[in-house]
Structure 1
Amino acid sequence: MVAHLSPATCPLLVVKVGSSLLVESDGSVRREWLETLIADIAARHKAKQKIVVVSSGAIALGARRLGFEKGGRASLADAQASASVGQILLSGIWAELLAAQGLTAAQMLVTLDDLEDRRRYLNITATLDRLLGAGAVPVLNENDSVATEEIRFGDNDRLAARVAQAASANGVVLLSDVDGLYDRDPKDPEAQLVPEVSKVDGRIRIMVTGDSSSGMGSGGMASKLDAADIATRAGIGIAIASGLRDHPLAALDDGAPYTWFAPREGGSARKSWIGGRLSVKGSIIVDAGASKALRGGASLLPAGATHVQGEFRRGDVIDIVTAEGETLARGLSEYDATDAVQICGKRSSELETILGAVPRQVLVHRDQMVLL
């Protein structure tokens, strides 16, 4: 079954490498360690496992070359300039070391918008499929040189999860500076590693404390849990594992500890894309009757809606929220927000009179909705 997949048995695996693993505190590349990781990738490639890499490190590398303070993160302008310089260095290192193992590197730079826009998302999917079919190793990073705060992932953990969706991957490995998810602060001597998680819920999220210990990256355990939620909802297993040891992928095969988030079954590719979106334009609050109907697989009718929040247009992704504030579902709105406000709580027979046209009968169709 899908849930029994592991990083070693996934036919297509996404490997995310954080800045703290790839770049020393002085801004130099941890070249010897990277060579061991690429040797692992080459071994996996030889064993017919396809690999996609999501690599951080461009900002840290560029900041060192430019002499910027705070690792290039003192301002958005510094981060963009650092990324512009660092991305050339980063892609060159990956290309050189992969070539030494007889592998061809392919660079792809993406922004949040690229994976949130359906057409561009499908273009990325097609490119990844062609590259992998040709035997290349795609190396992706966020295009920090042009991304603004409004269109940034902000961390490569969530980017890795979305790339895994686009590539139709079976698993993701987030190489980190810890062995996985602990039931409390890992610095606590009583802390225990959680070996497997079936669902990312409030009980799991309460275990998270602090951010990346290196201060170099932009993620942390909270972003890794977000990534796990995105991936597992799409039927993709995800592992959080330590990259502090040499040959980190081989170490997993040899029994090194990690936390495995088991994939959830069901759902179409389109629904996975909707559920994994990070930019949501607004929300519709629903009553108890609508909540029950939605959980039973129904579409959202205007009669079950009580309030509309945000500015959105037809086709935008919105959240469907219960009266208690729980985000129940996510889907594509059939109406602009202005029209949705007018028909909230109204019966289907009243819609034409209110809007002056023969309208769509639902606010969000069940085929364009995913329960969260």
Structure 2
Amino acid sequence: SFARYGRPIGQVLLTVADASRRDRARNSQRTIDRLRQLGIVPIVNENDTVTTSSATFGDNDRLASLVSHLTYADACVLLSDVAGLYDRNPAEPDAKFIAEVRSHRDLRGVIAGDGGRLGTGGMSAKVSAARLASQGGIPVLLTSTDNIGAALDQAMVGTCFWPAEDRLSAWKFWILYAAEAGGVLHIDGGAAQAMEHHNSLLPVGITKITGDFTSREVVDIVGPGGHLIGRGEVNYDAATLQGLMGKSSDELPDFAQRPAVHVDNLSTYANRLSRDYGATR
């Protein structure tokens, strides 16, 4: 199909590891950038040959969102079999079309996917992917394949997901949505409150550690309510941090005066953090 227009293409097969490890993510980015410099259209898919059920992007929509951010795309277009997002099954007579989504508030009351309230599968997966890309600062257009011409022209069709005003940096986006976590830090309410106010995570606020991670690895951070509220690059290996957790600064040895996770290397899911910390107040 591309040959009819004299455009060469190059297939790019990615795995979760290609996005979750920083060095491989950079290599993937450089490869795609070089293809574009050569006038080649990259066709990206998941490498099913070496993918396992426990290590997969999940669906092509999520893969598209991650690649859009990886390549600093101007926009992401997700195609479906319906004209855009509706607040319920578009086959229902009272279904309302949603022309734009600027924040999670615009999705209140929306029922998508397999009948669940923004559950899993189908339209739910597309909404999740669109929100993922827009959180990284990329505008997303969700429309039908029948509207592809208009979508790539003036884009006056479908549902527009506006990029978040408080867009994440490339580093913090990668930490939250692509990096592979080497372990888990469970924290108390005080530490969650400190994170809510954009402070570093100190050893005193850690209540439990799982995993055998090394220093500088990415770890999941779970709040007192049991929800994943953030991720960050830890300053100590698991064994060392095990001996430091729960101790105040005065109780820590001289070599351990750094925070467990510095605020510059810490990224949080703001809506989850507020919900988790709020439940403990």
Report the TM-score when normalising by structure 2: 0.83
Query: How far apart, CA to CA, are the structure 2 residues paired with 1:269 and 1:297?
Result: 18
Q: Please report how far the alpha carbon of residue 229 of structure 1 lies from its aligned counterpart in structure 2 after TM superposition.
A: 3.1
Matches within 5 A, 1:1-372: 97-200=1-104, 204=108, 207-210=111-114, 220-243=122-145, 245=146, 248-251=148-151, 253=153, 257-264=157-164, 265-277=166-178, 279-352=180-253, 358-359=255-256, 361-372=258-269
8 Å contact 2:9–2:41 — kept in the other structure?
yes
8 Å contact 2:101–2:107 — kept in the other structure?
no
Q: Please report how far the alpha carbon of residue 276 of structure 1 lies from its aligned counterpart in structure 2 after TM superposition.
A: 1.9
Secondary structure of 2:215's partner? coil
Query: How far apart, CA to CA, are the structure 2 residues paired with 1:277 and 1:165?
Result: 11
What is the number of equivalent residue pairs in this alignment?
264
Query: How far apart, CA to CA, are the structure 2 residues paired with 1:306 and 1:327?
Result: 15
**Residue type of the alignment partner of 1:276:** Y
Structure 1: 4+ residue segments shifted above 6 A: none
Q: Please report how far the alpha carbon of residue 278 of structure 1 lies from its aligned counterpart in structure 2 after TM superposition.
A: 6.5
8 Å contact 1:195–1:258 — kept in the other structure?
yes
8 Å contact 1:283–1:321 — kept in the other structure?
yes
Could you give the per-residue CA deviations for residues 213-254 of structure 1, whole angstroms, max 9, x where no partner exists?
Answer: xxxxx95223223322321221111222111x1x61325646
Q: Please report how far the alpha carbon of residue 321 of structure 1 lies from its aligned counterpart in structure 2 after TM superposition.
A: 2.8
Query: How far apart, CA to CA, are the structure 1 residues paired with 2:187 and 2:52?
Result: 33
Query: How far apart, CA to CA, are the structure 1 residues paired with 2:105 and 2:226?
Result: 15
Q: Please report how far the alpha carbon of residue 110 of structure 1 lies from its aligned counterpart in structure 2 after TM superposition.
A: 0.6
Could you give the per-residue CA deviations for residues 44-99 of structure 1, whole angstroms, max 9, x where no partner exists?
Answer: xxxxxxxxxxxxxxxxxxxxxxxxxxxxxxxxxxxxxxxxxxxxxxxxxxxxx112
Query: How far apart, CA to CA, are the structure 1 residues paired with 2:217 and 2:91?
Result: 43
The gaps in structure 1 that reach 5 residues or longer are: 1-96, 212-217
Query: How far apart, CA to CA, are the structure 1 residues paired with 2:96 and 2:256?
Result: 55
8 Å contact 1:185–1:208 — kept in the other structure?
yes
Q: Please report how far the alpha carbon of residue 206 of structure 1 lies from its aligned counterpart in structure 2 after TM superposition.
A: 5.7
Q: 1:360 to 1:171 in 2, by over 3 A?
A: farther
Q: 1:280 to 1:220 in 2, by over 3 A?
A: farther
Query: How far apart, CA to CA, are the structure 1 residues paired with 2:25 and 2:113?
Result: 33
Q: Please report how far the alpha carbon of residue 310 of structure 1 lies from its aligned counterpart in structure 2 after TM superposition.
A: 4.5
Secondary structure of 1:358's partner? helix
Q: 1:360 to 1:103 in 2, by over 3 A?
A: farther
Query: How far apart, CA to CA, are the structure 2 residues paired with 1:276 and 1:154?
Result: 13
**Residue type of the alignment partner of 1:249:** G
Secondary structure of 2:255's partner? coil
8 Å contact 2:184–2:220 — kept in the other structure?
yes
Report the TM-score when normalising by structure 1: 0.64
Secondary structure of 1:151's partner? coil
Secondary structure of 2:77's partner? strand
Q: 1:141 to 1:316 in 2, by over 3 A?
A: same
Q: 1:365 to 1:157 in 2, by over 3 A?
A: same
Q: 1:251 to 1:166 in 2, by over 3 A?
A: closer
Q: 1:188 to 1:317 in 2, by over 3 A?
A: farther
- RMSD of the TM alignment (CA)? 2.7
Q: Please report how far the alpha carbon of residue 201 of structure 1 lies from its aligned counterpart in structure 2 after TM superposition.
A: 7.1
Q: 1:364 to 1:140 in 2, by over 3 A?
A: same
Query: How far apart, CA to CA, are the structure 2 residues paired with 1:198 and 1:251?
Result: 19
Percent identity, aligned pairs only, is: 38
Q: Please report how far the alpha carbon of residue 326 of structure 1 lies from its aligned counterpart in structure 2 after TM superposition.
A: 4.0
Name the structure with the higher helix share: 1
Q: Please report how far the alpha carbon of residue 101 of structure 1 lies from its aligned counterpart in structure 2 after TM superposition.
A: 0.7
Could you give the per-residue CA deviations for residues 22-61 of structure 1, whole angstroms, max 9, x where no partner exists?
Answer: xxxxxxxxxxxxxxxxxxxxxxxxxxxxxxxxxxxxxxxx
Q: Please report how far the alpha carbon of residue 322 of structure 1 lies from its aligned counterpart in structure 2 after TM superposition.
A: 2.5
